[in-house]
Amino acid sequence: MINIIIAGPPGSGKGTLAKIVVEKYNLTHFSTGDMLRQEVENNTPLGQEVACILERGDLVCDDIVIGMITHELEDHPQMTGFLFDGFPRTIVQAKALDKLLKAKESPVNLMILLDLPDKICIERILRRGTIENRSDDTHEYKVQHRLNTYHTVTKPIVEHYKKQGKFIAVDSSKTPEHTFNQVEACLKRIL
């Protein structure tokens, strides 16, 4: 079983890369952002609870996100591997994921950080907001807030996986194909 984390700032191409990797390697894709937006769209109790959090560009609390991932892992007991897109976003979540996967005797194999300058992230997100009509992607101050949160809260998980020898960074400032080629070269070494 292979378990991969794709991390990076908002707009780095996590979702785009995840789709390519999931298809190529037959992995189950878990995107907490997609899951939470679906809850909001369906107007579920959880969606109602997290809507304003997402609108502000803040992170949803660890307990909710860990609970969602735990439930999803339990729903896919026979899968050949998982790709976590945008999860974990905090050290608490990283440690919880490690514990969940250890119980399955299938730890994280690799954390891939999609790296690019904030300026490009902002440009990409604002363009995506216009195209997809996502309210959390249409105001530069909200985007900047999300980037600041990423740098202070999420980026420290890099050290967590570096210490485990399970970390690589790739340049995601070019095309999705260029990013995937870098990632595929790294994946070939661990498969």
**pLDDT tens-digit readout, 119-130:** 999 999 999 988
- Tell me the two tokens of residue 106: 């299938």
How far, in Å, CA of 61 to CA of 90, rounded? 10
User: Could you tell me how far CA 6 lies from the centroid of its own chain?
Assistant: 5
Q: Tell me the chain's radius of gyration from C-alpha atoms.
A: 16
- Tell me the two tokens of residue 183: 């990632």
pTM confidence score: 0.92
Spans in the chain with pLDDT lower than 50: none
How far, in Å, CA of 30 to CA of 18, rounded? 9
Phi, psi angles (nearest 5°) of residue 113: -100, 120
What is the sign of the dihedral through the CA atoms of 188, 3, 163 and 58? positive
State residue 172's pLDDT score.
96
CATH class held by domain 2-184: alpha beta
State residue 63's pLDDT score.
96
